[in-house]
Amino acid sequence: MQTAKTFSIEEIQELGANASDAAKIHRILKNYQATPQKCWQELTGQFLHPDMPAGLHQKLFQWVYHQDEKYSDAPPAWFPVGSTPENSNLKRFMRKKNFSSYQAFHHYSVTQRPEFWNDMLHELNIPFDTAPRKVVDASEGLESPDWLPGAKLNIAGACFGEGNNQTAIVYGKENGALQTMTYGELDGLSSRIANSLTNIGFEKDDRAAIVMPMTAEAVAVYLGIVKAGGAVVSIADSLAPDEVEKRLKIAGTRMVFTQDKITRGGKEIPLYSKLLQAEMPQTVILPEGIDVTGEIRHNDLTWKDFLVGKESFDPISCQPADYCNILFSSGTTGDPKAIPWTHTTPVKAASDGYFHQDIQQGDVVAWPTNIGWMMGPWLIFATLINRGTIALFYGAPTGQPFGKFVQDAGVNMLGVVPSMVKRWMETGCMQGLDWSSIKLFSSTGESSNPQDYLWLMARGGYKPIIEYCGGTEIGGGYLTNTLLQPASPSTFTTPTLGLDLVILDENAEPSVKGEVFLVPPSIGLSNTLLNKNHNKTYYSGLTKPDENWEGALGSKLGEQTVSLKNPPILRRHGDEIRKLKNGYFRAQGRADDTMNLGGIKTSSVEIERLLDMVEGIKETAAIAVESASGGPKELVVYYVPKDGAQIESQRYLELFQDTIRNKLNPLFKISAIVPRDSLPRTASNKVMRRVLREEYERGDG
């Protein structure tokens, strides 16, 4: 690769720069005497702008850093200079607590966990009906700590405070005008919903499902259920009816909220009638338009008939360990794990949003998601507890209308998933839009591609990306970034505050590459599962850690739990990560057979259970493999035909895709199918999907 000093003006022009810009860029590359970081800062600060070709940004980035050994595997594209990091929540809090470095603050957050979480309860203004006796009681062990013993609260109350006229939600349909809902209006509507629930006999600890798009009304329904002392059952509206029914039964759901239909790209998609293919409890149907269209079942209620309550309601006082939400995350068996969130879990979401996504009062936060996935509830609590504004787009986030919504709504924090970013970059649909209001991006759901994410940073005028890796059972993230550390595309810089991790190799020894194990306790970490053995899932069979082992930023494990009078333990999580030469981290995917497709976790068994029922199929094995271009994993299916089956591979591909689309999730796409005479199995008859992954990556598939 040629050096920056010999890079010609003509070559820069060939990459898309005009003559004037090419000359200026050439001068910087030829004459810089400072570090590559300083050179890149000058280029991005003065000459590179969002609408220049992606190839120009990428090539210059490579040329600037190609001789920098320290950052050879993770060169930074953004640096913490200027007002954004200085005015961040994190920096202000560190000044208040007299921490001179981020590492010192993180050390405090994991070695003085009761004090740290007490700090957060005060900083986030969490209201209590009865104050807790202490922050945490770990006398029964770190696997099941008692958070906020003696307290009474309703976490929905933390979403409302002073400033009723402040905008709580800004929303808009495809090519439609922006509309807003204030905190006072949201409080009033959610109180009407809580009263209306009470009027039809809904009681504390009852469970009501939401199976509908992420709308302003859906947010109000969510908060209304929680205000009424109930638990929301979160189910994605894209799921097939039998998958919805399965989740309703696991959660013991009393009633359902849904929408009559969804319109996307001018096409109407029935929702309520689709759900009636499942066994459904009493259902409230919200209209997409003014009134509900179509016939409804006897005993179901339209939104108008249901919504009769007053606009004032005192939230039902709850124990901290009472459930406020039940979410689902696929494991390595056919049934999804049912993970309860308690009234303490949202404190974790809000704390992450405060420190890592830097959500400040009045900030506009957009993250295309759904209440059926954990980022939906996360968005509600992280934004509202921090007094921000939720931005909701009623349409697909893959095209120019969404980008215009981001522009017109003045979004400050834009959440993404990598597959969505790849689509934006490939289609050029965001060209010409003004995203200067964005101060940072945040990404979750799947592993990202450094090339795509350099493009995203450039799209916002070189703003940082806060990578965010976690899980439903964490209530937020365990690995992320901050505004006080340089940002390299597709890398993480730190465990989240208040939580730590270790990386273990296959011999259960600390390593720079391997499986992630969390160091409990933390507010947000689940203590129970509704349909599985929690201790077996997360703690059984694990090696007892050495107290001298170090967490991700160097804090010894023995220091981390001494204030709780317990030796350290580890909690299984299942991700694999690698620590880079500069101390950053890169995600390596799942260590088990749970796969992540388009930001949605599912299991191999869940897919195989459906595909094994396809005519002419003896058995299948589903694996997720790295994309040739990096970024999101791709779904590959190995299959064994029944003896005598006469179906061509292309037809099997069509049958498999139709089955997944109609019975599991229409967002999952099969990249390839591979025939086999038999599947590799262990002595105990378990399919060795690892062998198939290795086979496919070698090109043997």
Alpha-carbon distance 527 to 518, whole Å?
14
Q: What percent of the chain has pLDDT over 90?
A: 71
User: How confident is the model at residue 2, as a pLDDT?
Assistant: 37
Averaged confidence pLDDT in the chain: 92
pLDDT surpasses 80 at 230: yes
The tokens describing 115, both together, are: 């004090």
Q: Please state the rounded mean pLDDT for residues 338-345.
A: 98
The one-letter code for the residue type at 114 is P
Rg of the chain over all Cα atoms, to the nearest angstrom: 25
3-class DSSP state for residue 687? strand
φ, ψ at 218 (rounded to 5°) = -65, -40
User: How confident is the model at residue 481, as a pLDDT?
Assistant: 98
- Look-up of token digits 């050179």: 39
151: Cβ–Cβ under 8 A, 6 or more apart, which residues? 128, 130, 131, 132, 133, 319, 320
Alpha-carbon distance 148 to 417, whole Å?
34
CB atoms within 10 A of CB 682: 9
User: How confident is the model at residue 61, as a pLDDT?
Assistant: 92
3-class DSSP state for residue 304? helix
Of residues 692, 678, 538, the one with CA closest to residue 625: 692
3-class DSSP state for residue 77? coil
φ, ψ at 308 (rounded to 5°) = -120, 0
pLDDT tens column, 518-531: 999 999 999 999 99
Alpha-carbon distance 135 to 124, whole Å?
15
Asked if 349 contacts 471 with a C-beta cutoff of 8 angstroms, the reply is: no
Question: Is position 673 within any domain?
Answer: yes
Question: Is position 652 within any domain?
Answer: yes
User: How confident is the model at residue 167, as a pLDDT?
Assistant: 98
Q: Please state the rounded mean pLDDT for residues 103-128.
A: 98
Question: Is position 195 within any domain?
Answer: no
3-class DSSP state for residue 414? strand
User: How confident is the model at residue 423, as a pLDDT?
Assistant: 87
pLDDT surpasses 90 at 8: no
pLDDT surpasses 70 at 382: yes
Question: Within a 13 Å sphere around the CA of 459, how many CA atoms are in the beta-carbon half?
Answer: 23
pLDDT tens column, 634-682: 899 999 998 877 778 889 999 999 999 888 888 889 999 999 999 987 6
Alpha-carbon distance 195 to 13, whole Å?
65
pTM exceeding the 0.85 threshold for the entire prediction: yes
The 10 Å CB-count burial string (b at 16+, else e) for 538-569 is bbeeeeebeeebebbbebbbbbbbeebebebb
Of residues 469, 458, 554, 549, the one with CA closest to residue 106: 554
Q: Which residue would you say has higher pLDDT here, 628 or 269? A: 269
Q: Which residue would you say has higher pLDDT here, 510 or 3? A: 510
Which of 65, 83, 110 terminates a domain? The answer is: 65
Alpha-carbon distance 127 to 133, whole Å?
15
Can the peptide bond before residue 521 be classed as cis, meaning omega within 30 degrees of 0? yes
User: How confident is the model at residue 609, as a pLDDT?
Assistant: 78
Q: Please state the rounded mean pLDDT for residues 300-309.
A: 95
Task: Assign 3-class secondary structure to 582-646.
Answer: CCCEEEEEECCCEEEECCEEEEHHHHHHHHCCCCCEEEEEEEEECCCCCCCCEEEEEEEECCCCC
The one-letter code for the residue type at 288 is E
- Look-up of token digits 């009263």: 195
Question: Measuring CA to CA, how many Å separate 317 from each of 128, 151, 207, 228, 639?
Answer: 9, 10, 16, 9, 53
- Look-up of token digits 């905008």: 167
User: How confident is the model at residue 1, as a pLDDT?
Assistant: 34
Among 37-41, 126-130, 156-160, 552-556, where is mean pLDDT lowest? 37-41
Query: Facing residues of 338 across strands?
Result: 328
Question: Is position 227 within any domain?
Answer: no
pLDDT surpasses 60 at 5: no
The 10 Å CB-count burial string (b at 16+, else e) for 487-520 is bbbbbbbbbbbbbbbbbbeeeeebeeebbbbbbb
pLDDT tens column, 426-471: 899 999 999 999 999 999 987 788 889 999 999 999 999 999 999 9
User: How confident is the model at residue 6, as a pLDDT?
Assistant: 55
Polymer length in residues for the chain: 701
510: Cβ–Cβ under 8 A, 6 or more apart, which residues? 502, 503, 504, 549, 550
Question: Is position 661 within any domain?
Answer: yes
Pairing of strands 500-504, 513-519: antiparallel
User: How confident is the model at residue 506, as a pLDDT?
Assistant: 81
Residue 607 sits in a domain whose CATH number is 3.30.300.30
User: How confident is the model at residue 399, as a pLDDT?
Assistant: 93
- Angle value at C-alpha 329, between 328 and 331, nearest 5 degrees: 135
Which of 25, 50, 65 terminates a domain? The answer is: 65
Question: Is position 251 within any domain?
Answer: no
Alpha-carbon distance 365 to 415, whole Å?
8
User: How confident is the model at residue 47, as a pLDDT?
Assistant: 86
Question: Is position 598 within any domain?
Answer: yes
| Most confident by average pLDDT, 417-431, 439-453, 478-492, 613-627 | 478-492
The one-letter code for the residue type at 26 is H
pLDDT tens column, 51-78: 889 889 999 998 888 777 777 788 999 9
Asked if 511 contacts 135 with a C-beta cutoff of 8 angstroms, the reply is: no
Question: Is position 638 within any domain?
Answer: yes
The domain of 51 spans 4-65
pLDDT surpasses 90 at 690: no
Strand ranges inside 70-206, DSSP E = 136-137, 146-147, 167-173, 179-182
Alpha-carbon distance 508 to 200, whole Å?
54
pLDDT surpasses 80 at 576: yes
Alpha-carbon distance 17 to 129, whole Å?
61
User: How confident is the model at residue 682, as a pLDDT?
Assistant: 61
Alpha-carbon distance 73 to 612, whole Å?
42
Alpha-carbon distance 416 to 599, whole Å?
10
Of residues 79, 42, 90, 46, the one with CA closest to residue 64: 42
Q: Please state the rounded mean pLDDT for residues 131-160.
A: 97
- For the chain, give me the number of helices (H) and strands (E)? 23, 30
Domains of the chain: total: 2
Which of 65, 88, 108 terminates a domain? The answer is: 65
